[in-house]
Amino acid sequence: MDQEPRREEKIPWLAVLLSVVLPGLGQIYNGQIKKGALLILLAVVGGTAICGVGYLPVWVIAVVDAPLVADKLNRGVSVGEWDFF
């Protein structure tokens, strides 16, 4: 009898907390490394280049996205590297 490899359960509230600290960290926690790195870059650039105005939308997207993707992963839904929500 073949068993599926046990996948690591993601903790949605931890994904939120990481994204609150720095947008993109929750995505990296969820295994979406490239998306997380891009969100970190956008947050840094948006936070410095245009007087912080660009940081807020990136932060909101990251905080909303991280727990929803974590929940999808826990339910066994296939999530691609660049999939949101």
20-70 pLDDT, tens digit per residue, is: 999 999 999 999 999 999 999 999 988 877 777 788 899 999 999 999 999
0.85 surpassed by pTM: yes
**How far, in Å, CA of 71 to CA of 31, rounded?**
13
Distances (CA, A) of 8 to 11, 64, 76: 10, 21, 11
**How far, in Å, CA of 33 to CA of 51, rounded?**
27
Name the one residue in this structure whose structure tokens are 């720095």: 22
